[in-house]
Amino acid sequence: MINSSVNTVEPLMSESTATVYENHTGPANPFEVPAIAGDSQVPLLGYPGQLFWAIHYSGISSTSVSIVFSFSVLVHLFRADRRGFFERPIAERLVVYLAICDLVISTTADADHVYIVIFEAYPPDIPCALCGFLLSQFMTVQSCVVSFTALNAFTLVVKSRNIELGQYDWKLFVTTFMCPLVAWAIIASLGFTGPSGMW
């Protein structure tokens, strides 16, 4: 038994490091996302069956309601007040930013659900990656704006002043929009969005 074990180990020990690496079948890049040849190979959750229709019809219903209300808020705010946008109070501007984020998120998710229901398949790779990027970006922006709203409310109550945002709210845009944009652009360029990635 010892002789047979030695005979088995010796060929492995005689292989060079380069040979072993060439025979390695795993991805060379540890961050590489396993490729899926076509979006049709990604299974649809709950399909075929009632769960599939329940997921997407409820998704379409909720996102459609969100689109209607977000759009209504924006129309009301711009029709009821004729002042310039940056002449308005910061609280009102924050509501507009949140409504825009919600409108983009709901419209993107609604289009995704509608496509899946009609074609009973995920969108092609590039549109699917775009959906993932838009949803991730604007969900992050919305979370940052909500956090800033809470912080501004705290300073207003405790210190009786608003946080200074600079001309045209540039400080808010840099921290809540540009930083997530750079981060998600890098993530998308590495292939972590789309049917073979996180989305």
The pLDDT value recorded for residue 196 is: 55
The stretch 154-180 carries a mean pLDDT of 86
pLDDT tens column, 138-149: 999 999 999 999
Residue 44 to residue 24: CA distance in whole angstroms: 32
The pLDDT value recorded for residue 14 is: 46
Is the residue at 3 inside a domain? no
Please give the mean pLDDT across all residues of the chain.
78
Does 72 have pLDDT greater than 90?
Answer: yes
End-to-end CA distance of the chain: 52
Is the residue at 13 inside a domain? no
In Å, how far are 22, 25, 31, 62, 186 from 28, measured between CA atoms? Answer: 10, 9, 9, 43, 20
Q: Is 163 helix (H, G, I), strand (E, B) or coil?
A: coil
Does 6 have pLDDT greater than 80?
Answer: no
pLDDT tens column, 78-133: 888 778 888 888 888 899 999 999 999 999 999 989 998 898 888 888 888 888 88
Is the residue at 119 inside a domain? yes
Is the residue at 38 inside a domain? no
User: What's the angle, vertex CA 60, arms to CA 55 and CA 64, rounded to 5?
Assistant: 150
Which structural domain, as residue segments, surrounds residue 75? 46-189
Is the residue at 5 inside a domain? no
56 confidence band (pLDDT: 50, 70, 90):
confident
Is the residue at 199 inside a domain? no
Residue 59 to residue 65: CA distance in whole angstroms: 10
Does 199 have pLDDT greater than 80?
Answer: no
The pLDDT value recorded for residue 31 is: 40
How many domains does the structure of the chain reveal? Answer: 1
Does 35 have pLDDT greater than 80?
Answer: no
Is the residue at 77 inside a domain? yes
CA 102 to chain centre: 13
Is the residue at 24 inside a domain? no
